[in-house]
Amino acid sequence: MPIPRFPAALLWVGVSLLGTSLVSAQEYPHKPIRIITTAAGGGNDFVARLIAQGIAGPLGQPVIVDNRGTSILAAEAASKAPPDGYTLSVAGGGLWTIPLLQQVPYDPVRDFVPITLVMSSPSILAVHPALPVRSVKELIALAKSRPGELNYGSSGTGTSGNLAAELFKAMAGVNIVHIPYKGTAPSIMAVISGEAQVTIYDAGLVGPHVKSGKLKALAVTSAEPSQLAPGLPTVAASGLPGYEAVSMTGLFAPGKTPPAIVNRLNHEMVRVIQLPDVKERFLNAGSEPIGNSPEQFAVIIKADMARVGKVIKDAGIRAQ
């Protein structure tokens, strides 16, 4: 078959476009970068601003935080941005767990490229001080002896606390009744008052109440012991091998962002996360800094989607 021939003008256009794309990749970044995240003042906003401060200097461009309200609104805006490295997203686990509960205007796998897991926040399994248990094994034994009599509080159906507790129930084979409250503070106060007996919430929120004696801590939900909950064993080591439930926040780019740009951003982000003052700010905020590769982060997301998806299906959880 004869080799097709093209007009010289078309060949020149092709070469010119290729040259332009190569130059653009080499010159990245040459204009301000935008980080889309949720409402100002929240945990994702805190992470986004730390990132912006840390990478602006090395990249030589301003980095602007763009707050978009809810996680769905922020994710939708980020998913529709050009995949050129000039729009990024800071998002929590809701980015990939909310689509397991309801329809959303984006696909968490197709529309996003993981850059790095910035930080994770373990939770503490805590109970009302009067509950006659001192360990996870004793709580499981009590719950099995009194099926349906114990309650746990969360800030709502489908939230991280709800999913962590349902995972605990499934793995332990116990029936502890869910009471959803309108917010984090009311759900924790419900356990402090004795209206509910059990909670699983971020260490940064539960820790102060444990120190004051208003709550009794039994274990931490991370796979390994956490410096955010010194002296506490893990749930996994206390009778439920394999149990893990942590909140995660990561940095993402829109789908199809060139690998060279993703790797450049990953390099800068991991460097920032390893800075002593940045680590200290994360720990003071109740989170553990991570900083891993895009490939490692993608594996974590895939595993979490499978684990959470099973919990949602088995427990019949529906978004409200």
Question: What is the fold, at CATH topology level, of the domain defined by 122-238?
Answer: D-Maltodextrin-Binding Protein; domain 2 (3.40.190)
Closest CA to 87 of 119, 58, 111: 111
| Distance between CA atoms of residues 117 and 176, nearest Å | 32
Amino acid, res. 62: P
Q: What pLDDT does 233 receive?
A: 97
- Residues 8-28 have pLDDT tens digits of 443 334 433 444 344 345 689
Domain map (residue ranges) of the chain: 9-121+246-315, 122-238
Conformation bin of residue 313: beta by default, left when phi > 0, alpha when psi is -120 to 50? alpha
Q: Which CATH superfamily is domain 9-121+246-315 in?
A: Bordetella uptake gene, domain 1 (3.40.190.150)
Q: Which neighbouring-strand residues pair with 126?
A: 199, 217
| Pair 116, 251: CB distance under 8 Å | yes
Encoding tokens for residue 292? 């891993």
Q: What is the mean pLDDT of residues 279-292?
A: 94
Instruction: Report whether pLDDT(5) > 60.
Output: no
Q: Whole-number mean pLDDT of the chain?
A: 91
90 backbone dihedrals φ, ψ, rounded to 5°: -105, 120
Specify the DSSP class assigned to residue 81: S
CA 107 to chain centre: 16
3-state secondary structure of 291: coil
In the chain, which ranges are continuous DSSP H helix? 8-27, 43-59, 71-79, 94-101, 136-145, 160-172, 184-193, 203-211, 259-273, 276-284, 294-315
Closest CA to 131 of 47, 198, 178, 203: 198
| Distance between CA atoms of residues 277 and 202, nearest Å | 22
Q: What pLDDT does 13 receive?
A: 40
- Residues 142-188 have pLDDT tens digits of 999 999 999 999 999 999 999 999 999 999 999 999 999 998 899 99
Q: What pLDDT does 25 receive?
A: 52
